[in-house]
Amino acid sequence: MRIASLVPAGTEIAWALGLTDQVVAVTHDCDFPPAVRSLPRLTSSTIPRGATSAEIDHLVRSAGQRGESTFHVDPAALRAARPDVILGQTICRVCAVTLDQLPSEIGSAPPTIPLTGESIDGVFADIRRVADGLGVAELGARVERELRARLRTVGERVAGRGRPRVACLEWLDPVFPGGHWVPEQVELAGGVDVVAPPRRPSTAIEWSEVLAARPDVLVLMPCGWDTQRALAEARAVTDRPGFVDLPAARSGRVFATNGSAYFSRPGPRLMDGVEVLAALLHADAFPAPSPDAAVRVPTPAPVRP
């Protein structure tokens, strides 16, 4: 079977199901597993490399006002891939091409398998749906069992421990809290999300709301960025008024993380994200995450009169 993926989460679900060798083309953002980096690319973005948080937000909003997207499918590349099935998503035009954006000029489109998960359980439903559609239902059930077992292990290790107040930011300028599954990840990791309700899309909030929430831990997980990029852009948060007086800043518990790998993509590595968060929230109970996953953000000392 020839699989084309129009969303990184779909590529990663195919990997978890052991079907990477059947994936023939992917998006420009697909980077995991490493083997897919050499595959033909089906999409492109109009956002210039190196644009800041504020610049990217402006470009995305401007495109939305015109009824457009910053992500585009290459019809010629999709035809050349000759897929038997397409994996795609329906949730967010901002972070990936949606299935309703498939260009008409590709001709008779092959069957599509939609990824619709907006929660942890929704991600498991997507894994089952993809496994069923690709003819590996039993393997999909096993993958789900293994991932759920990992979540239970985390839950057992944080049971009875104090739950720190956590703020996760999936965009830095303007400020967006982590939405959909991120508050669930925080809860599973032994924390309390104090800036976003679970299972709802992320919407911009005022910085004053973060200050009022007084998080014990502040986690920067910009959508689509790795740890080093998040760290490089952290001043969009750490330079804001009142930042140094946050409990998280005072205790040095502000972290830049690999949002792209562990928090932005509704696929199997969200469970890795739970484990990363658990290590940040309960450092005495879990091994420290790798520097590729999370690093501490240097925080300026508060200025006293």
HEC per residue, the chain? CCEEECCHHHHHHHHHCCCHHHEEEECCCCCCCHHHHHCCECEEECCCCCCCHHHHHHHHHHHHHCCCCCEEECHHHHHHHCCCEEEEECCCCCCCCEHHHCCHHHCCCCCEEEECCCCHHHHHHHHHHHHHHCCCHHHHHHHHHHHHHHHHHHHHHHCCCCCCEEEEEEEECCEEECCCCHHHHHHHCCCEECCCCCCCCCCCECHHHHHHHCCCEEEECCCCCCHHHHHHCCHHHHCCCCHHHCHHHHCCCEEEECHHHHCCCCCCCHHHHHHHHHHHHCCCCCCCCCCCCEEECCCCCCCCC
Q: Per-residue confidence at 132, pLDDT binned at 50, 70, 90?
A: very high
Which residue, among 194, 217, 192, 219, has the nearest Cα to 205 in the 3D structure? 194
Give residue 34's pLDDT band: very low, low, confident or very high (50, 70, 90).
Answer: very high
Reading the block at residue 235, the tokens are: 């001043």
- With 70 as the cut, is the pLDDT of residue 303 above it? no
CATH numeric code, 3-116: 3.40.50.1980
* Token output for 180: 């959909």
Please determine, for residue 93, whether its predicted confidence score (pLDDT) is greater than 60.
Answer: no
pTM for this model (two decimals): 0.91
Higher-scoring residue by pLDDT: 294, 112: 294
Q: What is the pLDDT of residue 172?
A: 96
For tokens 């972070």, name the residue: 95
Residue 169 confidence (pLDDT) above 90: yes
pLDDT computed for residue 208 by the predictor: 97
160 φ/ψ sector (left φ>0, alpha ψ -120 to 50, else beta): left
| pLDDT reported for residue 73 | 85
Res 92 pLDDT > 60: no
| Dist CA 164 CA 151 (whole Å) | 19
User: Could you tell me the CA-to-CA distances from 192 to 92, 104, 146, 185, 270 in Å, in that order?
Assistant: 25, 45, 25, 10, 17
Say how far residue 113 (Cα) sits from the centre of its chain.
20
d(C-alpha 53, C-alpha 222), whole Å? 9
Q: Domain-by-domain residue ranges, the chain?
A: 3-116, 160-296
Quote the CA–CA distance of 40 and 77 in Å, as a whole number: 7
Equal CATH topology for 3-116 and 160-296: yes
Which tops the pLDDT comparison, 125 or 200? 125
Task: Look at 96 and 193; give whichever has higher pLDDT.
Answer: 193
CATH number 3.40.50.1980 is the correct assignment for the domain at 160-296? yes
